[in-house]
Amino acid sequence: MGLVIMSERELNRIEVLSQVTRSAMTVVTAASVLGLSRRQVHRLLKDFQSEGPGAVRHKARGRRSNNRIDPAVREFALILVRENYLDFGPTLAAEKLADDHGLQVSRETLRKWMQDAGIWLSRKQRRTFHQPRLRRECLGELIQIDGSDHRWFEDRGPACTLLVFIDDATSALMQLRFVTSESTFSYFEALDLYLATHGRPVAFYSDKHTVFRVAQQGAKTGHGMTQFGRALNELNIEILCANSSQAKGRVERANRTLQDRLVKELRLAGIADMDAANAFLPGFMERYNARFAKAPRRPDNLHRPMNIKPDQLRDVFCFRDQRYVGQQLTFSYERKRIMLDESEITRGLVGKYVDTYAFPDGRLVIRWQGLTLPYAAFDKDQRVTHAAITENKHLSAVLAHIKDIQDAAPPKKQPAGKQRSRYTPTGNRNDGWNSKLAKRAKEARAASQGSDI
């Protein structure tokens, strides 16, 4: 008879039928064990005793399916897919074959045909693996920076953002700072602390946030770099932007670790505000680096000393721009009208550009060739304008600012306008004594009496 392939269910049936043949089991018990009727067991037993174990094997095994699709249909479908739908998925290709060519094929059948023909790759075959980027060799060669918006104080305080500076070579936390949101001034604050502690690194590695990168590269105005980029350029520090979150995976993984460990540490310390949390961070960083930091491949420290005076550094960490001076010695700046005080110097500035310095404390300084110019500001408006465009990372801070303004503002009076007021009846009946018709009748009577006299 040769080798016969059987399934586990068929082998189980042979064992039960063998016991029935040896009178070790009754037909009723066999029917219960196999889940068949007594009549079916009798038929199987008859075939088993006459033809042997091979009779229990399914008769369709090894034969083509009765519902198989003609091979010519398969070839025709694959020809249509290659000619018209080569980059289509099986689901969409099956829809197009049915709608445009009248060829009804299930998507799973077409998927198998396309896979066998090498047209379609399964999800497992299409999976791509990111090649891990090797660490830099020296401390201070590349510093990854990112902001993590999270409820760091849980329900004890408002949500805020943690700015994270991590060294690529060692995975050591170089600087942590709690701020309200990711903004240029908040990064200036964290960068100032970083430079005072470590010095100037070779380069920073960040995402494509608008703090680091100009969103519209083809803009006709501006200098092609952000205020943060301009500050780093003056400090001779390079800024690089990652093309994906995986590229700066070390700081992303550090954020996930901090969102677990730091949150619990703050809870145990009973900290619920940013000032206390920022005072707590140096000790936490020391413990974190002792546990997780790695030794660099080379012992060189590529941080460079600052060699910049503090007053010059203040001019670096500010918003700097240029404004065109009009005929009236005025220009616009942040919804304000700036008028320069008239002097021998300012009279010659008409048609020229002056430098503006906006500092974190709100001061605005105007200079021309290093000379500070006195000015007056008009139409100052600090209100967030209606329908203002706000980035997601700044939304919490903007909403908090709006709420403070609304709480401080007096309640607005309801304008009269064209509002309908409710009529309250007085009980007096208007009989028309003062209407126009009554007045005319009265005038006619007076005229007739005068003519009679």
Residue 416 has a CB neighbour count (10 Å cut-off) of 7
Q: Which is higher by pLDDT, 21 or 65?
A: 21
Q: How far apart are CA 287 and CA 283, in angstroms?
A: 6
Segment 57-61 long-range contacts (CB within 8 Å, at least 24 positions apart): 57/4, 57/6, 57/10, 58/7, 58/10, 61/5
Q: For residue 291, what are the CA distances in angstroms to 99, 271, 315?
A: 63, 23, 38
pLDDT at 415 over 60: no
Mean pLDDT of 90-112: 93
Dump pLDDT digits (tens) for 230-276. 999 999 999 988 877 777 888 999 999 999 999 999 999 999 999 99
pLDDT at 34 over 70: yes
Q: How far apart are CA 397 and CA 183, in angstroms?
A: 10
Mean pLDDT of 293-299: 92
Query: Taking the CA of residue 102 as centre, how many other CA atoms within 13 Å lie in the half-sphere pointing to its CB?
Result: 0
Q: Report DSSP state, residue 174.
A: E
Band of pLDDT at residue 208, cut at 50, 70 and 90 = confident
Q: Tokens 């770099």 appear where?
A: 225
Strand 319-324 with 330-333, pairing: unpaired
For residue 261, the model assigns a pLDDT of: 92
Helices (H) and strands (E) in the chain, counts: 14, 12
Dump pLDDT digits (tens) for 322-340. 999 998 889 988 888 889 9
For residue 449, the model assigns a pLDDT of: 77
Q: Tokens 């706000």 appear where?
A: 390
Query: pTM of the predicted model, to two decimals?
Result: 0.59
Q: Answer positive or negative: Cα dihedral of 25, 29, 31, 35.
A: negative
